[in-house]
Structures are given as C-alpha cells and as structure tokens.
C-alpha cells in the first residue's frame, strides 16, 4: 500500500464515523421529540 492509499482510507473511515455520529444524534433528537409529544398527550 502507498502512503496516499492509507490517507484516503483514513479519510473515508473518518467521514463514515462522522456520518454515523450525525445519524445517531438525529435519532436521539427524534426519540426525544417523540417522548415530549407523548408526555404532552
């Protein structure tokens, strides 16, 4: 493997981790909103 390959792979992994973090944040927000809605009923 070349140095560039390693950098590319690392960049891809980092962006995937970041995307997953954003997804889980959004899911938590949705769950919180739903909980708030349910408690208002």
Closest CA to 16 of 5, 28, 8, 27: 8
Please work out, in degrees rounded to the nearest 5, the angle formed at the alpha carbon of residue 17 by the alpha carbons of 16 and 23.
90
Residues 22-40 as b/e (b if ≥16 CB within 10 A, e otherwise) read eeeeeeeeeeeeeeeeeee
* Angstrom distances, CA of residue 21 to CA of 7, 8, 9, 11, 12: 21, 20, 18, 15, 14
Whole-number pLDDT of residue 17: 98
What does the pLDDT look like over 12-33, one tens digit per residue? 999 999 999 999 999 999 999 9
Question: 0.75 cut: is pTM over it?
Answer: no
The reported pLDDT for the residue numbered 14 is 98
């Amino acid at each position: 493997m070349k140095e560039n390959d390693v950098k590319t792979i690392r960049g891809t992994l980092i962006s995937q981790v970041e995307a997953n973090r954003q997804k889980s944040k959004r899911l938590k927000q949705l769950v919180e909103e739903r909980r708030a809605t349910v408690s208002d009923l």
